[in-house]
Structure 1
Amino acid sequence: MIFAQTFADLFSMDDTTWKRHANPWCFWTRLSVIPVLFLAVWSRFWLGWWSLLLIAIALFWVWLNARIFPEPNSTNNWVSKGVFGEQIWINRNQIPIPSHHRYFPHILTTISAFGLIFAVWGLITLDLYFTALGTLLIYVGKLWFLDRMVWLYEDMKDANPKYRSWLY
């Protein structure tokens, strides 16, 4: 809970930003972040210190992405429900979630974390195999996590009037 809340706080995820983040365009374009960031880090081989500018731009894109898209016209879609599930996951200490949702998201986050370790090692050593393997594990963990968050939202949407109001 602490990690998820800290991450949300780091990116200043207020109610308006969460609504915008539920736009499917936000999610699908956000998938570009990892390859763009990793390419920016890899570019140190060609650009030297100038690669820091590309890294800064990639990190700015992470922050900007959740803010440039409008609130979606409809939230009855996989991505929006996944974002709602993430909010419920972060709020699980205030409003308890079913026991079958408590542990698997941690496993998926661990898969993504292992992917990050492989990717960082690949970026440090300029090893394309480790970078690609790490990227794959990050995406598998994240996309599976989001799918679990859709399931969590479906199970919890009637547990709180606020959760139900998110679906339109």
Structure 2
Amino acid sequence: MRNMQQWFDEYGHSHQNPTNKLIHWICVPVIFFSIVGLLASIPSDSIKMMFPPQLQPFVHFGTVVVLLGLLFYLRLSFTMFLGMALVSGLVLLGVRALEEWGTLPLWATCLLLFVLAWIGQFYGHKVEGKKPSFFKDLQFLLIGPAWLLGFIYRKLGIPY
């Protein structure tokens, strides 16, 4: 099993170009957000009713996928798990806010964001001249957000 640094090193091979890196700083969080939002849009009212009213807005398939993703990070690094838990919590709050105050239905906004962000990602990889890492291994879809967080951790001197 690869450790966090090994994942980052391999992911970094196809993310050297400054333009591609900048695009990833924008598009990876947008894709993460939009996937959680799209999954939150799937009706789950019968499941929500089993939870207290304060938690019901966060009981959806997006939360389930976030929790599964957090298990992936926990296997690799406790500090990365903590950081991604914080990021994921902010994403869940953002999805809730967009659902409550957005002008379009949540699914429509998230679908538009998802498509635009993937267009950006593929443009970045065209500039880079290398295929996206997830073509080699789908687990790299989970590494992208952690790779960005890894830059922040290094700036702050937080080991992962």
Taking structure 1 as the reference length, the TM-score comes to 0.30
Q: Which has the larger radius of gyration?
A: 1
Taking structure 2 as the reference length, the TM-score comes to 0.31
